[in-house]
Structure 1
Amino acid sequence: MPGVRILAAQAFSRAAGAPLVHGNDIRLLKDAGENYAAWLDAIHAAEQTIHFENYIFHSDNIGWRFAEALISKAKSGVRVRVLYDWLGALTETSSRFWQKLREGGVDVRCFNPPRFDSPLGWVSRLHRKSLCVDNQVAFVSGLCVGQMWIGYPERNIPPWRDTGVEIWGPVVADVVQAFAHAWAEAGPELSEDELPAPDSIPVAGPVDLRILGSVASTAGLYRLEQLITVLAQKTLWLTDAYYVGSTSYVQALRHAAMDGVDVRLLVPGSSGDLTFLRPISRAGYRPLLEAGIRVFEWNGSMLHAKTAVADGRWARVGSSNLNMASWLGNWELDVAVENVEFARQMEEMYLKDLENATEIVLGDKNRVRPVESPAGTGAGRERRRLRRSGGSASRLTASALRVGNTVGAAITSRLVLGAAEAKIMTSGGVVLIVLAMIALLQPLLLVVPFSLIAGWMGVSLLMKARALRNTSMTHRQAGRNSDQASGKEDSQFRKNHCDPSPGTDGEPAGQEAGKSAQAPSSGSGDSADPAKRGDHASETPHEQNDEPQPEPLHQQKEAAIAPGSQASG
């Protein structure tokens, strides 16, 4: 059994790309009433650093409340950093909001604004929602900063439903590291002394956690979700705001349900942020329902939470939706929790949410029925296998994927379609006919945008190719300089350690001195003077060659043992 546990731990770590960190504590926070209050308390108590990243900072009452708190701490000497997403803030945040923060001493950066050399680079967004204070406490959630999460009581609009967590312990270091990684994408990196080591943060409790700091194209959370779906034995309860399951993920959910696992999916209902997409959302329910998966639509205000709980032991809370944009395109941040007590709290919260939801069931007219009891499921029945699968969503990106799936199903006749899908087919058919008519009657309306986009992308590719060539040339030149420097150092080393002592005609000075001592004295009286002989021997090489050439090693060895080698001194 210990070996099995080790293998399981390795499987989770490798699938997620994140280690399991022991010795932490965690608190479940429901909705903005609990999350915002905890965030502001931590900000007010900050003494050293505040690291705050979020997809959207609305410049409304709530946004300005946070701005004032951040500015106040910055003026008191706390290092405050705020990272926001360009697309998320494009229409929701005024330039005055960011100006006030910067003027107040807050270090503000924008993640991934459009660049001419990267026409499609804007697709990857910073969808994270995290707050770290003093490297001691961290918050991870699905909440942006805005009034809609609080609601509008004067207009009888309830708050958005969302979930977050507060965590303490060594795992906070991983949250800080995740922030630092994203921060470096928008400017200079944080200094090493600002990044805490896990062993520098004291143990806070018995909870085991993983920080899933996903970046574009890594798919760590996707692999982990697949693994959890495969390993779940009793329950798998999911809450998601913009669910568009991939084919493989839907198949994994269906197989789990057909094996007897109680699989449930809670998604936004008619009160979603894009209500006209409800028919599109419902179009993907059928493959799930046919497999015995129970699908629920939220009856309250917008459901924005992104959570999962499995087998009463494992849970996830964070910013990732169950769609390819979150799995592959965005920078996301989630907390995976392996703790029975926390999983129990998540299950209780889920069942409470189902009391305010409507269960979708199969019927001749796609009828629905209210939730009677969360217990019981017919997942053990034998069910047909379907080749096509889909999902539900409330955003335009999700709807586009759903339309594509439905159109493909209609053309290939591989999925039985109903009234909800008929609406999509009608809309899709009308759009295609309109585009065809425009292409025939006014082709420039399509050709000009296409030409501009193609030209932009072409210039971008040329710029990148030039940059790559310049980088390659720089590396080659650096390599040549390094080789030359190495050659000079080697030559200097050989001169210092291997060259013979100065002598005549390249011979060791000791040998030259010996020859001079044996020469007849009749030639000159000076030659018999040992001191003068030494002076002559030392000056001769400079007269013949300014840079003496190194001798072969065997000659150097002979010079080292030659008789009279001390005479040159």
Structure 2
Amino acid sequence: MPVRRTTSIDLGSIRSAADQAFSRTAGAPLVGGNAVRILRDATENYPVWEAAIDAATATIHMEMYIIHRDSVGRRFIERLARKAREGVAVRVIYDWFGCGLGPLRGLFTPLLAAGGEVRTFNPPSLSSTLGWLRRNHRKLLTVDGRVAFVSGLCIGQAWEGEPARGRQPWRDTGVEIIGPAVSHAEASFAESWYLAGGAPFPDPPHASEIPAAGSVNLRLIPTEPFTANMLRMDLLVGTIARRSLWLTDAYFIGTGPYLEALTRAARDGVDVRLLLPRDSDVGWIVPVSRALYRPLLEAGVRIFEWNGTMIHAKTAVADARWARIGSTNLNLNSWIGNWELDVAIEDPGVAQTLAAHFEEDLARATEVVLESRRRRPVAAGRPRRRYRSSRRVVRTVAGVGRSLGAAVSGNRELENEEIKPITIVALLLAALAVVGFVAPWLLAWPAALIAAWIALTFLAEAWQVWRRSRR
């Protein structure tokens, strides 16, 4: 039976369905009437943050994964303390793991002495067996319910660099938001504040009560562990991008479904590009990322590595119409395990600005190519980097995880290039076996400690439930 084709297209219905799809995927509504400004690096972000803090009259809310106990971190804490002494309600949430020993060494003492409130997010506790391993990776600052800053930047000297010591500033991206969407940022902070044990505070104005400040439509997307809001969004955008999808990421370890989305888009003619670090503060990330390059390159994805100290931005721009800026990295820990916060912007002007920034960044990057493929042009003045399939296994094969999965499940034959990672894992397991035979206590003691910790946490949780039942 022939397919009946309609001659008219209801654009309104299509737009409504698309908005519904994005809202359901992200778990966040589209909010209009905002003014948005993209801010690059600490040179643009920090001065604007500090100016907003200095102008605060009612509230300052900061949710920050890392505040280093260095000159930059102390500068921000002193500024917040000054506003607290002036009577501004200052509330700060920090991640216990991200901030390390800084809080124990008095990082927040000036702020607390000035009357500010500080909460530790998800610290180790007997009431949670391993839940404290989940991180609050968000980077959010709101002031007076008037302006919000969402970014990939934390607070520390690394973002400003140390020219005297030859250390370049980290490359990063943030966004300033003024308008109704600030209400959603305040609501996100309030929920984190509650989870961190903070005392309730007055509700911020509803989005409908905040006057429009511009014409930009956006979604503020808070992600919690196991909600996968940004994973679904990234997969959706990778599926519907028609012309281009340009991604910048700091700790890229894409999952199988996401890698498949990128490769299918590239094979379908979409200009897919990845900008990743060549050097990282987390040293093992780079070789693991490189292990995923080959299938992407073979599909036509173009990969560039940043030539500077560190690129820490987490951004995406699709078809020069849609953009994402925030804290979520393209890896399972960010997508599934952490509390994250991102802004998805549906505005051609903002997206084109981010696309222009991406192209400028490529001038400071080196394109990665497969030697067997036809050569591609490289940014002027930059050397070509080659990856030989027989010599640089970790940088070219489909990935250690995929190799191990094939070896364990037998779902496909292993390739010659996968001999090295499989052999390394085999030797590590053999070493553990030898230790188990020769000095079993080296394995038994850690296992016993883990078992004891789990037992204590289970008992603590059971006791808390029993106490609640007796009330």
Q: TM-score, normalised by structure 2?
A: 0.89
Please list, as runs of the form range in 1=range in 2, the aligned pairs for 1:338-417 lying within 5 A after superposition.
Answer: 338-363=346-371, 370-371=378-379, 403-409=400-406, 412=410, 414=413, 416=415
The match for 2:61 is 51
Give the equivalent residue in structure 2 for 1:563: none
Aligned residues: 446
Select the residue among 248, 264, 267 that pairs with 2:273: 264
Provide the secondary structure at the position in 2 that maps to 1:66: helix
- For residues 444-495 of structure 1, the C-alpha deviation after alignment (integer angstroms, 9 at most, x for no partner) is 1111211221232133224334444554565xxxxxxxxxxxxxxxxxxxxx
Letter of the structure 2 residue corresponding to residue 127 of structure 1 = H
1:304 aligns with 312
Which shifted more, 425-434 or 221-230? 425-434
Partner residue, 1:211 = 220
Give 1:102's aligned amino acid. Answer: L
1:293 counterpart (295, 301, 305): 301
Please list the CA deviations of residues 154-176 of structure 1 after superposition, one character each: whole Å capped at 9, or x if unmatched: 01111000000001000000000
Shift of residue 372, structure 1, vs aligned partner: 5.4
CA–CA distance in 2 between the matches of 1:221 and 1:70? 31
Aligned partner of 1:198 among 192, 207, 218: 207
The residue that corresponds to 1:224 in the other structure is 233
Specify the SS of the correspondent of 1:97: coil
Distance 1:320 1:19, change over 3 A: same
Alpha-carbon distance between aligned partners in 2 of 1:368 and 1:7, rounded to the nearest angstrom: 39
Aligned to 1:112: 122
- Of all paired residues, the percent bearing the same amino acid is 49
- Summarize the alignment of residues 52-201 of structure 1 with structure 2, pairs less than 5 Å apart: 52-92=62-102, 94-191=104-201, 193-201=202-210
- Check whether the contact 2:188–2:222 (CA below 8 A) recurs between aligned residues: yes
Task: Report deviation, 1:272.
Answer: 1.6
Q: Residue 129 of structure 2 contacts residue 458 of structure 2 at CA under 8 Å; is this kept in 1?
A: no
Task: Describe the shift of the 1:296–1:91 C-alpha distance in structure 2 as closer, same or farther (beyond 3 A).
Answer: farther
User: Once structures 1 and 2 are overlaid, which stretch shifts more, 434-443 or 159-168?
Assistant: 434-443
The aligned counterpart of 2:6 is: none
Contact kept in structure 1, 2:148 and 2:182, CA below 8 Å? yes
Cα-to-partner distance string for 1:27-70 (whole Å, 9 max, x where unaligned): 00000000001100000010110001100100101011101110
- Which digits, 9 at most, give the CA deviation of each residue in 1:483-509, with x for residues without a partner? xxxxxxxxxxxxxxxxxxxxxxxxxxx
Which residue matches 1:234? 243
> 1:407 Cα deviation (Å)?
2.9
CA distance in structure 2 between the partners assigned to 1:112 and 1:177 by the alignment: 19
Deviates more, 1:19-28 or 1:274-283: 274-283
After superposition, where does 1:409-558 map in structure 2 within 5 Å?
Answer: 409=406, 412=410, 414=413, 416=415, 418=417, 424-468=421-465, 471=468
Query: 1:40 and 1:443 mapped to 2: Cα distance?
Result: 55
Alpha-carbon deviation of 1:247? 1.1
- Aligned match of 1:546: none
8 Å CA contact 1:81–1:107 kept in 2: the answer is yes
Q: 2:423 & 2:114 partners in 1: Cα distance? A: 54
Match 1:337 to one of 334, 345, 348: 345
CA separation in 1, counterparts of 2:134 and 2:283?
25
Aligned partners of 2:139 and 2:152 also within 8 Å? yes
SS of the residue aligned with 1:361?
A: strand
Q: Which amino acid aligns with 1:152?
A: E
Contact kept? 1:129, 1:142, Cα under 8 Å: yes
The alignment status of 1:282 with 2:317, answered yes or no, reads no
* 8 Å Cα contact 2:253/2:288 also seen in 1: no
Structure with the larger RCO, 1 or 2 (CA within 8 Å, 6+ apart): 2
2:14 is paired with a residue whose SS is helix
Contact 2:121 2:136 in 1 (8 A): yes
Write out per-residue CA displacement over residues 510-530 of structure 1, whole angstroms, 9 at most, x where no aligned residue: xxxxxxxxxxxxxxxxxxxxx
Amino acid at match of 1:242: Y
Whether the 8 Å contact between 1:244 and 1:402 is mirrored in structure 2 is no
Distance in 1 between residues matched to 2:329 and 2:40, nearest whole Å: 18
1:21 corresponds to? 31
Q: 5+ residue gaps in structure 1?
A: 375-390, 393-400, 475-569
What TM-score does the superposition give when structure 1 sets the normalisation length? Answer: 0.74
Match of 1:249 among 249, 258, 264: 258
Query: What letter is aligned with 1:327?
Result: W
Provide the rounded CA distance (Å) in 2 between the counterparts of 1:128 and 1:341: 26
Separation in 1, partners of 2:399, 2:243? 29
Matching residue of 1:491: none
Q: Which amino acid letter does the alignment assign opposite residue 229 of structure 2?
A: G
8 A Cα contact 2:244 2:270, kept in partner: yes
> How far apart are residue 289 of structure 1 and its match?
1.0
Instruction: Return the alpha-carbon distance in structure 1 between the equivalents of residues 166 and 276 of structure 2.
Output: 22
Match of 1:322 in 2: 330
Q: Tell me, in whole angstroms, the C-alpha distance in 2 between the residues paired with 1:161 and 1:184.
A: 32
Would you say the 8 A contact 1:22–1:206 is kept in 2? yes
Cα distance in structure 2, aligned partners of 1:174 and 1:404: 38
Q: 1:261 to 1:339 in 2, by over 3 A?
A: same
How far is 1:423 from its partner?
Answer: 5.3
- Aligned residue identity for 1:45: A
Q: CA deviation at 1:433?
A: 2.2
2: CA distance, partners of 1:261 / 1:18: 27
CA distance in 2: counterparts of 1:405 and 1:293, whole angstroms? 19
CA separation of 1:2 and 1:318: change in aligned 2, threshold 3 A: same
In structure 2, runs of 5+ residues without a counterpart are: 1-10, 383-393
Name the amino acid aligned to 2:111: L
Question: Do 2:84 and 2:111's aligned partners in 1 also have CA atoms closer than 8 Å?
Answer: no
Cα deviation, 1:93-140, whole Å, max 9, x if unaligned, reads 552112222112211110010001212011211100010000000100
| Aligned-partner SS, 1:433 | helix
Tell me, yes or no, if structure 1 residue 4 matches structure 2 residue 4: no
Mark the CA change 1:289 to 1:454 in structure 2 (over 3 Å): closer, same or farther: same
